[in-house]
Structure 1
Amino acid sequence: MDFGVVRVEWPCPAKDGEPIPFPKMPKVVGLTFTKASETLKPIGFEEIEPQSAYTDVTLPASVDDWKVCFQEPEEGKEIESPKTTTAYLKLTAPGTACPTDEHTELHPDPTTPPPSTGDDSDSSSSGGSSSSGGSTGSGGGGSAYYKNCDAAKAAGVAPIRSGEPGYRKGLDRDGDGIACDR
């Protein structure tokens, strides 16, 4: 007698030998947080975490009518362990447009100098990794910008601690003061 087994939290295939039919992440971008949560509930995520789509906007206590701009996991990704997976939904307030990039400020600080364009050290650092954004200076007191954690890791600076060049809340998912630590 042969038995086919799968983990308790996994769905059974329709027939012996077929792949496990893991649920796929649906598209929730454009939905309100309430509608997105209702759409994701049947998958059984451990948590559905709202986050601000803008790095300088703090979410209020209730975000039910806020719109989803970005989602993680991405649409179509198989969810193998929903009971240990968190869905991150980046939201914007009603009437506020979604940013084109995940790491954008809604109200940028007008006193921040623009990135330098003609330094002798900026152009040859990471061989074609255009996602890092570049450095605004080198040496004492300079700052850096990394589009995402992949760019920070490619530059060899991850993890980035609060106060270090390149640290920003948009890269610090869990808010512990250490960005790109996963």
Structure 2
Amino acid sequence: MSGNRGIAMAGAVAAAALLLAGCAEPAASQGKGSGTPGSAPAPSGSGPSAGTMPGLIGKTSAEAEALVKPVLPKPVEARSAYDDVPLAADHGQWAVCFQTPAAATPVTGDASVEISLVAPGTPCPAAAGASLHPPKGSGPAKTPVPSADPGHPKPKHPKSDPTPAPGPKDVSYRNCAEARAAGAAPIRRGQPGYSRHLDRDGDGVACD
């Protein structure tokens, strides 16, 4: 009797264990799709990762592209900083004057980068798109010199004739020696200092 009772109890324990196992399995399978913590798969990334825009101003075009490449997959768009200077096909050594986006700006992987360049030895303009060689005549207008009041023009001073030399004064010489000492001899008739008493031969020339 006691042996049969032990067998019956063992069978009951086994049946209970099977029942518990059957109930636990649906619960486990139910938990997989229920969104409970630890059971759901890790979410995948929903977009490109963010980064920080490096500083490119002052770098060469080749250096700028090398700095941007680890941050943004898109190629760098290069252009000339001057509107009247075409960008060379080989612009790797051209210097960066302006960049978009600005340095230290947070960017995403789909952002576009633009750089404005100048040829080696050329200064950067004040703003992108300026002209390096402005056309002639486009400089600042010259300020006209103010003229006199049009209603009261300055009178024109006529050119004065040279002052005529003063006429010779009436001179007389007591003798030819005095006339020669004065540097006046010979003295012709009609000239200052001529006197009949100095013209002894009467030929019209005194002190000859």
Please, what TM-score do these two structures have when normalized by structure 2? 0.45
2:81 matched to which residue of 1? 53
Instruction: Give the whole-Å Cα distance in 1 for the aligned partners of 2:76 and 2:82.
Output: 18
1:106 matched to which residue of 2? 132
Which of 85, 108, 113 aligns to 1:87? It is 113
Cα RMSD after superposing both structures: 2.0
Whichever residue aligns with residue 38 of structure 1, its letter is A
1:72 matched to which residue of 2? 100
Instruction: Give the whole-Å Cα distance in 2 for the aligned partners of 1:40 and 1:53.
Output: 19
Instruction: Give the whole-Å Cα distance in 1 for the aligned partners of 2:129 and 2:81.
Output: 8
Whichever residue aligns with residue 5 of structure 1, its letter is S
> Greater share of helix residues, 1 or 2?
2
Matches within 5 A, 1:1-182: 1-2=39-40, 3-7=42-46, 10-11=48-49, 22-82=50-110, 85-112=111-138
Higher relative contact order (CA 8 A, sep 6+): 1
Asked whether the 8 Å contact 1:54–1:103 carries over to 2, the reply is yes
Q: Secondary structure at the match of 1:39?
A: helix
Runs of 5+ consecutive residues of structure 1 not aligned to the other structure: 12-21, 116-182
Identity %: 31
Runs of 5+ consecutive residues of structure 2 not aligned to the other structure: 1-38, 142-208
